[in-house]
Amino acid sequence: MDITEVIETFEFLEDWEDRYKYIIDLGRELPELAEDEKVEENRVHGCTSRVWLVHSLKDGKVIFRGESDAHIVKGLVALMLMIYSGKTPAEILQTDARDILNQLGLEKHLSPMRTNGLFSMDEKIKTIARAYAGGA
């Protein structure tokens, strides 16, 4: 599934309670990280819940995996992975996740803390992409 399908599904689901359930379901589909991946180095700071992002470079593309200890946040992690994972560092740096999240209407329906957490994830992903781009 990609982010375009999520946007289409959101248009179909008019009720925000159904949209929240859908986001939670997306999070349930994420594979769990190994315990040794849930280390401080992989932690996203700025999130109320604990969030971890693991990354690797394969064939010039950054592959992200992630997890959270909160159901809705794990779904938000899934959204961010759909936006960014599998893209080159340059593509990641050119992608505006905020625009995509605005299309979903998330900023209006998430608490300020969760919105800040999303932006913290976005910044960590961009930092990782910049590091890969600099090393290329």
**Residue linked to tokens 């090393």:** 135
Round the average pLDDT of the chain to a whole number and report it.
92
Domain limits of the chain? 3-135
The pLDDT value given to residue 134: 87
Q: What is the mean pLDDT of residues 16-44?
A: 95
Q: Is 99 exposed, middle or buried (0-12, 13-18, 19+ CB in 10 A)?
A: exposed
Q: How many CB atoms lie within 10 A of CB 5?
A: 10
Count of beta carbons in the 10 Å neighbourhood of residue 133: 14
Task: Please indicate whether residue 47 is annotated as part of the active site.
Answer: yes
Give the pLDDT mean for 31-43.
Answer: 96
Q: Looking at residue 135, what is its pLDDT?
A: 58
Percent of the chain with pLDDT over 90: 74
Q: Count CB atoms within 10 A of the CB of residue 68.
A: 24
DSSP helix/strand/coil, 53: strand
> Domain 3-135, what fold?
Sufe protein. Chain: A (3.90.1010)
Of the residues 47, 53, 121, 125, only one is catalytic, namely: 47
CA–CA dist 74, 27 (Å, integer)? 5
Query: Using CA atoms, how far apart are residues 136 and 92, in angstroms rounded to an integer?
Result: 14
